Amino acid sequence: MKSIKINNILILSFIIMSMMLLQVQASPGEYWDEALPEDKGISSDKVNNLFDLSFEDDATQSVVLIKDGVLIAERYADGYDKDSFGTSWSMAKSFYAALILISVDKGEIGSLDDKVSKYLDYFNDDRSVITIRQLLNMSSGLEYPETQHEMMFFQPDHLEYSRQVKLEKEPDTLFEYNNVNSMLLGDILFQATGKKADVLLEERVLDKLQVKNKTLWRDSKQNVLTYCCIDMTARDYARFGQLFSNSGVWKDEQIISKELVDETFQYVWDTPNWWTDYKRGYSLHWWVSRYSEDSKIFNASGRFGQYIFVDRENDVVFVRITKNTPAEGPIQDWSRLSWFTWINNVEFLIAFFQTLENWGIVKIGADSNVKSPSTREEGASKEFYRDYELVMDAMADLSRD
For the chain, what percentages of helix, strand and coil (3-state, to nearest 5) are there?
40, 20, 40
Question: Is 22 a residue whose pLDDT tops 80?
Answer: no
Which tens digit of pLDDT belongs to each residue from 304-346? 999 999 999 999 999 999 999 888 889 999 988 888 888 888 8
Which tens digit of pLDDT belongs to each residue from 37-83? 999 999 999 999 999 999 999 999 999 999 999 999 999 999 999 99
DSSP state of 277: S
Question: Is 24 a residue whose pLDDT tops 50?
Answer: no
DSSP output for 256-279: S-HHHHHHHSS--EE---SS-SS-
- By residue count, the chain amounts to 401
DSSP state of 63: E
pTM of the model: 0.92
For residue 259, the SS3 value is: helix
Question: Is 14 a residue whose pLDDT tops 90?
Answer: no
Of 227, 197, 216, 233, the residue nearest 321 (C-alpha):
233
Instruction: State how far the Cα of 274 lies from the Cα of 267, in Å rounded to an integer.
Output: 18
* Cα 387 to Cα 351, 390, 397, distances in angstroms: 24, 5, 15
Instruction: State how far the Cα of 380 lies from the Cα of 87, in Å rounded to an integer.
Output: 12
Which tens digit of pLDDT belongs to each residue from 290-308? 999 888 999 999 999 999 9
What letter represents residue 215's amino acid?
A: T
Contact 308, 112 (CB under 8 A): no
pLDDT band at 366 (very low <50, low <70, confident <90, very high): low
What letter represents residue 125's amino acid?
A: D
What are the structural domains, with CATH classification, of the chain?
37-330+371-397 (3.40.710.10)
